Structure 1
Amino acid sequence: MPRTSLDPAAVAALTARLSAVDPRSPSGRQPVHTCYVPADRVHASTPAEWGAQALAALEKYSPKDFAALLGVPEDLYGRVRAKLEAEPVEDLRIDFEDGYGVRPTEDAEDADAERTALVVRDWVAAGRAPSRFGLRMKSFDTRALLERGLRTLDVFVTTLGEVPPGFVVTFPKVTSVAQVEVFTDVLDLLGADLRFEIQIETTQSIVDTKGRLTVPRLIEAGRGRVTALHFGTYDYTASCGLGAAHQHLAHGACDFARNVMQVSAAGHGVELSDGSTNVLPTGDNVEHGWRTHYALVRRSLAHGFYQGWDLHPAQLVTRYAAVYAYYRETLEAEAERLKAYVDKAGGAVLDEPATAQALSTSFLRALDCGAVDQAELHALTGLALSDLRALARRTP
């Protein structure tokens, strides 16, 4: 038996000081987008109308012309069309902030809050709600906005009654940890099991006045209620002092903010969402708007941001075209890599458990959004859905 020098009792006493590391990943299905709709324009058929408008835009093109426009395979046309017919909106936010503005009277916003809450309640009762939905309230920028935002939230939640699964509140323009602490305390007062997203759209929400990263402390201040971090393109670039011509998702300032969000959220079970583009596919600008949106969605996906904002129904076309192309382009090659890992067969690439986890997670994301179906996934990987989920969790 080999000789050792370390006293096991002494080592045990030292290592007892270490806390267990238990990194968490987001659980459940993450939508590929969030559609923002001003509260005064939300009604019972809004998700269906977004789908109909997106289909109308797509059907002006043949599969061949659409594929040539975006540089995607022709068969993607049918997949996108089927998605727009079956589930055009995966996540919808009723917007009481920038897209809605300040109403001339308090009663006007009260009425919209009550009315839209009843719309949501009807969606849920009829089984027509998107997989995720909620509202974006006003920020804590000023006392007037703070009071109005909390009143709207109160009216909405009280009218809604029991908080349904998939419901989330978006908390915008956060500038300090104290704002999240207070907001979390207010949610405690409401007595509902409310979850919220933090919008990262100010420089203070990235780095505070003492040079410390803010995002980890924002998540901690939410006391388990924070589900996601959403990036706000235009407010953030404006807060950096960028001119209007340089306020866009692909700017290096946005990359820095997103990198901070990414490393700060890792292990906390918090999702990430990229922001929006204001180049909309409307009128004579459809093709330019589509190309711009498609390129930005692909860029977000390549950087590990699997969700983004959509502000116009026609953006659903390029949202799904970009997401489907992203997953399907590497489907066969990644399936071979995962099969080789599971079979311990070796090959040109020697993958580790972390890569197998990433491959499995990617397949599950593709399945969730409709880029691939379960039968195709099984044929490619030879794995059951339960096997893929176990690999994604890195469990035996």
Structure 2
Amino acid sequence: MTYGGTPSTTFAQSVTDGVAASLAEVDAELARRFPGAPGTRQPVHTVYVPAGAVTPDTPREWGARARALLDEHAPDAASLAAVLDLDPALARPVHERVRAKLEREPVEDLRIDFEDGYGVRGDAEEDEHAAQAARLAAAWGGGASGAGAAPGWAGIRMKCLEAGVRDRGIRTLDIFLTGLMEAGGLPGGLVLTLPKVSYAEQVAAMARLCEEFEKAHGLGPGRIGFEIQIETTQAILGPDGRATVARMIDAARGRATSLHYGTYDYSASCGVSAAHQAMDHPAADHAKAVMQVAAAGTGVRLSDGSTNVLPVGGREAVHAAWRLHHRLVGRSLARAYYQGWDMHPGHLVSRYAAVYAFYRAGMARAADRLAAYVARTATDVQDEPATARALGDYLLRGVDCGALGAGEVAEATGLDRACLERLAGRAAPARAR
């Protein structure tokens, strides 16, 4: 059949223009509210350390303690595979890469904690710890200055904005940020965490504090962002019966960087007994599902919580804690929660083992599908652009955290990093680590 000529149409250009005009506000609203993924690397975990206990060597010390546990309780690939029920084909690369990670970059994201892990201190003591936190974050500067020496992301978790601790929380935030400016400016890996948020108005108040600080120091609008910690039932369902998380993201006016689920505070607020408070409780799954839908497309990332079962004691106890944590992290990854909290150096072993197994187990299949999509080759799966974005993002996340080598991904897909980033919809190159 031969095609030619101009096809007939009915709509006048004025009709098309009229539709465009009627949807202009919607177009602008969609662009504002749903800008898409940030296009940068996301840490796989956050380590919380009380402000009174953190030192310049904390990341290195956590790595050393984690390596010591690994060497004692799973010194080779076979023993780690037996503990965590790893596929034998994955055991050696996972074990080797976990140990290398613990030497090179044991802590990706470190939060200096002034909230639950810190407790109530005298004002003078907290003032000094806030100033010290600024010195530490400035020295780390958002990147490693030596093997295991500095996390890529660092900041504080201040006290919340509830009435009883509001003034103290604001003062700590002020001392910390002012100290950073005095030390040379805000580092690229700066992260602030606002805990125990119940109402969107508290998020708006935090946004105002950030705005006022920017104005006072001549910083560009929006330079300071923050994480919203979801630890109360009111953060999920408001008193009027409406979902609250989306209103919190909106109240941040573009400053919300992520939503972090608080396992134990949220579980307790739901009345879950202590023995059943866990990341995989149905109450937790409901809260995180609401968070996930509210954040989708907004550029706000998600983080799961933690387990309080620590890998301490004898070998049997350490192995049991590792198995539990490994299972929970793997479960989170499958549900698109690519970040979580770690409470003990020993958790780094099971964290990275789970993360690395997740990416290495799926690399070959993801690479084949992505290569076939690019080449328009027929396979047993017909992938669409949205799935191609997910495949590209999966492989990039694996490279970013050290689970996959950039070279092996390029060889498997036939695509360089720039092409992967375009397919994944990353607006800007992720930071290489």
Residue 48 of structure 1, aligned match among 37, 41, 60: 60
TM-score for the superposition, normalised by structure 1: 0.96
- Partner SS for 1:305: coil
Q: Does 1:186 align with 2:204?
A: no
- What whole-Å deviation, never above 9, does each CA across 1:282-339 have from its counterpart, x for those lacking one? 1132111101100000000000000000010010001000000000111111111111
User: Structure 1: which amino acid aligns with 2:43?
Assistant: P
Between the aligned partners of 1:233 and 1:394, the Cα distance in structure 2 is: 30
Contact 2:197 2:228 in 1 (8 A): yes
In the alignment, which residue of structure 1 is the partner of 2:430?
none
Pick aligned residue for 2:127 from 94, 97, 110: 110
Q: Distance in 2 between matches of 1:325 and 1:124?
A: 30
CA positional deviation for 1:253: 1.0
CA deviation after TM superposition for structure 1 residue 246, in Å: 1.8
Structure-1 separation of matches of 2:413 and 2:9: 46
Deviation at 1:4, TM superposition (A): 4.1
Deviation (angstroms), 1:140: 1.9
Deviation, structure 1 residue 80: 0.5
Q: What are the superposed Cα offsets for residues 212-270 of structure 1, whole Å, 9 maximum, x if unpaired?
A: 12111111111111111000011111111211122111011111111111111111111
- Secondary structure of the 1:80 match is helix
Asked whether 1:123 is paired with 2:140, we answer: yes
**Paired residues for 1:303-314 under 5 Å:** 303-314=335-346
Which runs of 5 or more residues in structure 2 are unaligned?
A: 1-5, 428-433
Moved over 6 A (4+): none
Q: Which residue of 1 aligns with 2:303?
A: 273
Instruction: Read off the aligned partner of 1:198 and give its amino acid letter.
Output: I
Asked if structure 2 preserves the Cα contact closer than 8 Å seen for 1:339 and 1:382, the reply is: yes
Q: Map 1:187-336; keep pairs closer than 5 Å.
A: 187-191=210-214, 193-284=223-314, 285-336=317-368
Aligned ranges for residues 2-81 of structure 1 at < 5 Å? 3-18=8-23, 19-20=26-27, 21-22=30-31, 23-60=35-72, 61-63=74-76, 64-72=78-86, 73-75=90-92, 76-81=94-99
Contact 1:353 1:394 in 2 (8 A): no
Instruction: Identify if the C-alpha distance between structure 1 residues 2 and 158 changes in structure 2 by more than 3 Å, giving closer, same or farther.
Output: closer
CA displacement at 1:184 relative to structure 2: 1.0
Measured in 2, the distance between the counterparts of 1:364 and 1:110 equals 40
Unaligned 5+ residue runs, structure 1?
A: none
Q: Does 1:159 align with 2:182?
A: no
User: 1:94-129, CA deviations, whole angstroms, 9 ceiling, x for partnerless residues?
Assistant: 0000000001x2111111111221122222298343
Contact 1:207/1:214 (<8 A) preserved: yes
Does the Cα contact within 8 Å between 2:372 and 2:379 map onto a contact in 1?
A: yes
- How large is the RMSD of aligned CA atoms in angstroms? 1.6
Q: Is the 8 A contact 1:34 1:90 kept in 2?
A: yes
Counterpart of 2:431?
Answer: none
Report SS of the residue matched to 2:418: helix
8 Å CA contact 2:160, 2:196 repeated in 1: yes
Q: Which amino acid aligns with 1:27?
A: G
Matches of 2:354 and 2:401 in 1, distance apart? 12
Mapped contact 1:120–1:129 kept (Cα < 8 A): no
**Structure 2 residue 165 is the aligned partner of structure 1 residue 145:** yes
Q: Deviations over 1:23-62 (max 9, x none)?
A: 4112211000000000001011000000000000001123
Contact 2:40 2:426 in 1 (8 A): no
Supply the distance in 1 between the matched residues of 2:188 and 2:9 (Cα, whole angstroms).
Answer: 56
Q: Tell me, yes or no, if the aligned pair for 1:249 and 1:296 is still in contact at 8 Å.
A: yes
Question: Letter of the aligned partner of 1:224 in structure 2?
Answer: G
Number of matched pairs = 393
| Structure 2 CA distance for aligned equivalents of residues 389 and 369 of structure 1 | 15
Return the letter of the residue paired with 1:155. I
Residue range with higher mean Cα deviation, 15-24 or 81-90: 15-24
SS in 2 for 1:98: coil
User: Conserved in 1, the CA contact under 8 Å of 2:138 and 2:186?
Assistant: no
